[in-house]
Structure 1
Amino acid sequence: MRMKVMLSGVALIALASAAQAETLRLLTWGGYAPDEVIEKFEAETGHKVEVTKSNNEEMIAKLRATNGGGFDLAQPSQDRIAGPQGEFGIYKPLDMAQIDTSLFIPSMLEATKANTTLEGEVYGVPHIWGTSGLVVNTAEAGNVKDYLDLCDDSVAGKVSYRLKRPTLIGFAYSMGLDPFAAYGDEAAYKDILDQVEAKLVECKANVKTYWDGGDELKNLLRSGEVTASMAWDTGGWQLNADNPDITFVAPTSGALGWIDTFAIPSRGRADQAAYDWINFVMKPEIAAMITTSAGNFTASQGGDADVDAALKERYQASFPQEAIDNIKWYPSVPAGLEALEGAALDRINAAK
């Protein structure tokens, strides 16, 4: 005898959700997808999340190698989308109708959309933002106020920075040059790089080491081996919690501002899970959890309401209004410029 099984509305919804559940393969930065947020998301949506931690260069390399496959949601910086998309086609246009735009700080959303638009299609929306500048032991290297001060004799042998493009950009601004204004003129940009390269080769004697990871730099600053460095604001604020002499300093020529985005790879296969994740993590209460984990503020409207008061205080000490107004926000990188930068960095590294 065949039995009828009656299911409640809740059970039917659960079954429907399970049938639509996807595995979200997230390519992101450390701290952007903390375990407690993943657990809440999985419980609420039924989707599963697999996290691969990466950085801008690796994200582009991974997606280029697979023609945009292997991941369902990536978090490149907003200046790394239009150029790579134009060259390699590694992202797909966003369906803005599936994103709850009311969750975003309007000005940041519009700026990111403008910087990630190609041929009328939007490829990125903002998630986490912050700056890079100087992290200084003010008791030992209080005269370091700008990038060029890292070449001063007073900090000889106690300096560290990365051999990455922010170092090139920061030193250019400190030298009175405007690299972003030259983005549309490859010859002019090459001339700026040549000047910066010569300065960084000259400055090599001051460098204790070129750091790669944030933990490495923090240990160097904690031990006193390094007293002045280029680094992100969050690293300086984390160190300040342990040693009030060490903090983030916004350079006089301007901190470099970045926004990490959400972008969907061109061969992603879990678009619904990707859109669900975007809308979930931009909720103010979830955004505050991510700020606590990553140390940076998000583009969530009201997402700073529940953030730790001590972090707010450190932010305000590093960024008086004039420093905020002087932030140099990264524009989109035109195709071909990163190859010029890479060649300059290789020559700096090889120089004696």
Structure 2
Amino acid sequence: MSWVPAFTDKLEHPIPIVNLLKSKQATPSPPPRPITISIVGAGQRGSGYAYYTILEPQWAKVVAVAEPVDIRRNKMAKVLKDLIFVINHFLLYNIPEENVFKDWKERPKLSDAVVIATLDDLHVEPAVAFANKKYNILLEKPMAITVEGCKKITKAVTENEKLSSFGNLVYFNSKNKPKEAGDAKNCLECKIESTCSYSAKKIYIDNGYKKGVVSWPVSVVTDITDIENLTNALKNGPYGRCVYECDNDVADNQVVDLEFANGEIEGDGINTIMYYNFLTRKKELLKPSDILGVKDLDGHAGGDLSLMRAFIYSIGESLFDLKDTV
């Protein structure tokens, strides 16, 4: 039991942590040329990471994409070009047609770095292959779904001198499934769907599509965002499965070492973070957009941007002799 008192409704400003966080955002000078990136897997995660190059085009640009689904592959090539044209009024880059692929295999080295955002069970083969080609790799979590897979990736990146958290699944399993749900395996067929907090129908249809949402999270379920395709995807695809009956083994209880002992944080995952100071017993509302200096943060309240920024900056420092500007 923690002795720390619960949050109050009172906001105190300023709290020194803001200055501390801003001081950590010191950036090196941009490289003499943008760091080139290949995207392997142009779904939600791959597209999210590619978006970084629109926010900081002086640092990185996408030069190749590999994606088996036509609509996603073509959308990435087109959207990236269109968005950059709108934002910068001219094309900073254009993904050549010869660098747009259905698969990643048997390709020459096309960039300084690669983002691997394939399905979880398809991480090992490309990670090992790209490590052997001396790419700098950003690998979407989980690293692999087996211990053996993790060992293969570790061995490859260690040998090529190129590349934490822990948790356990404790609640979402069949043992904790409400008895009233019976044998239902899909939310659209469940008798207690209307009272279930984890109803896929509520998430994607009632609170998503019916309220005008056609982007994330609805676009994760179906590439064509209309009610017919969405309903069909929930009925026949993985996103409509009962949360207690899934074969998903992603941790629902995760512990991450943040090296943060003077307070606790609570985030909404979109654009705000609440910081509670153990010493002063006061709290402050933090806005990642102010700290990071970018208005449109996109995914994970700036988490995706910060991850890509750290990845790209580290590559820049290894390729070029860059100096801090702040």
Question: What's the TM-score, normalizing by structure 1?
Answer: 0.30
Larger RCO: 1 or 2 (CA < 8 Å, sep 6+): 1
TM-score by length of 2: 0.31
Higher helix share: 1
